[in-house]
Structure 1
Amino acid sequence: MARTPDTELSERRGYHHGNLREALLEAARRLIAERGPAGFTLSDAAKLAGVSPAAPYRHFKDREALLKEIAVQGFQALGRRLEAAARAGGPDGFLAMGRAYLAFAREEPAYYAAMFNTGHPGGGGSGDDPGFNALRQAVGRALGSSDPQRVTMAATLVFALTHGLASLAAPGSIAMPGGLDDPERMLDVGVHALLTGLGKAP
């Protein structure tokens, strides 16, 4: 009999291989991608991981703890992408970061949904967030400004624009049912207009 994807997941990452925590996180990401953050239970994650309903409590006290860990991992993964984009982007690092952000939202829908739809903080303007710090530095270079308040405001506006476009471009968006044809192009135009306006501001 052919093995199902769920069976393969259980065999590859299951509790009997000593990877219960990782198996539960992987199962939860799959369920979030399919059903959304509110569309599954801890028992559903356990079933998909191939373990008993009681097994998840070895690592997570409840479903919210599991979601929080996925959100934290998502912010860490996004931060790494943004930092890499900033380094590779040169003078236009902020544009490269915006495109990397859009790509992350498109390629990692489970992480993205957990990060911004479960109420768990972890980025987007935090002074301790490496991704936002890299964006702030790139925006400061683009503006030719070292004023921390001005640069932080500009970086926050760029983040807000990027996050808004990523949310509208997400499959199944209620606000934009037809999706966006070219969010990358819209981002480039919007960020250029935003930074040009801020650069002219007194």
Structure 2
Amino acid sequence: MSKRGYHHGNLRQALVEAALTLITEKGPQGFTLSEAAKAADVTPAAVYRHFAGRDDLIAEAARQGYEIFGALMAYAYDEGRPSALAAFEATGRAYLAFARKYPGHYMAMFESGLSLQSRPDLAAAAGQAHDVLERAAVRLSEHIPPAKRPPPAMFSAHIWALSHGVVELFTRGAPGARSPFPAEELLEAGIGIYLRGLGLLPPDA
């Protein structure tokens, strides 16, 4: 009897969903293409109709993840409302929320070792997500004279790294198990300390 996968309305997406489940359970390098095919209820040969190999499948999961991530970041930023600082902090919280709600996408994006430079569609999706945080950084630094203004790309990258560190240390596995403080509070305090150190907060903040 033929596998029902040959009759999937959207076999490509079914394979992505199967891969996301496996990535969540085993990590990006912990499953085979045959396992993804089995989870989608198709033969391994059917996978190659849509993907060149496992890395190609993981890359599509990552690309979709970046699209979701970028949309969440843009929604959280809300064009700088109600204030530049509040919107900037909201993007950090969105990072934590994404990692919790979409662990398979998160791992495909950040733990698979895929090269963005070799995959233009993946790089474009990642760039859109990065652009939200950089726009927030530009808005936050508008009150500083240009000659004294730190490069927005630099401090937005630092905040990205801070957010990523909080995710890796305090929200993976058992959330909060290694910290007496909620991850959101750790991130908000860290952002505040960092931005004050750079002089990026208004004097009355």
Give TM-score scaled by structure 2 length.
0.80
Structure 2 equivalent of residue 131 of structure 1? 129
Asked if residue 168 in structure 1 is aligned to residue 169 in structure 2, the reply is: yes
**Partner Cα distance (1:126, 1:62) in 2:** 21
Asked if residue 116 in structure 1 is aligned to residue 117 in structure 2, the reply is: no
- Residue 121 of structure 1 deviates from its aligned partner by 4.4
CA deviation digits over 1:23-58, x for unaligned, max 9? 100000011111111111111011010111211010
More displaced 10-residue stretch of structure 1: 35-44 or 137-146: 137-146
Q: Count residues in correspondence.
A: 187
RMSD of the TM alignment (CA)?
Answer: 2.9
Whether contact under 8 Å (1:139, 1:154) holds in the other structure is: yes
**Partner Cα distance (1:197, 1:178) in 2:** 29
Q: Which has the higher contact order (CA 8 A, sep 6+)?
A: 2
Distance 1:86 1:107, change over 3 A: same
Distance 1:128 1:20, change over 3 A: closer
Among residues 58, 70, 78, which one is paired with 1:87 in the alignment?
Answer: 78
Whether contact under 8 Å (2:67, 2:125) holds in the other structure is: no
Asked if residue 158 in structure 1 is aligned to residue 159 in structure 2, the reply is: yes
Gaps of 5+ in 2: 118-122
Structure 2 equivalent of residue 178 of structure 1? 177
Among residues 20, 27, 35, which one is paired with 2:18 in the alignment?
Answer: 27
**Partner Cα distance (1:182, 1:85) in 2:** 19
Whether contact under 8 Å (1:89, 1:95) holds in the other structure is: no
Distance 1:97 1:46, change over 3 A: same
Structure 2 equivalent of residue 7 of structure 1? none
- Residue 118 of structure 1 deviates from its aligned partner by 1.1
Among residues 56, 70, 86, which one is paired with 1:65 in the alignment?
Answer: 56
CA deviation digits over 1:171-197, x for unaligned, max 9? 338xx9934441100010000111111
Distance 1:121 1:99, change over 3 A: farther
**Partner Cα distance (1:128, 1:44) in 2:** 27
Distance 1:200 1:34, change over 3 A: closer
2:112 partner amino acid? T
Asked if residue 78 in structure 1 is aligned to residue 72 in structure 2, the reply is: no
Distance 1:38 1:177, change over 3 A: farther
1:152 partner amino acid? A
Whether contact under 8 Å (2:92, 2:163) holds in the other structure is: yes
- Residue 19 of structure 1 deviates from its aligned partner by 1.3
**Partner Cα distance (1:122, 1:182) in 2:** 32
Distance 1:169 1:38, change over 3 A: same
1:171 partner amino acid? R
**Partner Cα distance (1:140, 1:146) in 2:** 12
- Residue 169 of structure 1 deviates from its aligned partner by 2.3
Q: After the TM superposition, which residues 46-57 of structure 1 pair with which residues of structure 2 at under 5 Å, given as runs? A: 46-57=37-48
**Partner Cα distance (2:106, 2:10) in 1:** 24
Structure 2 equivalent of residue 96 of structure 1? 90
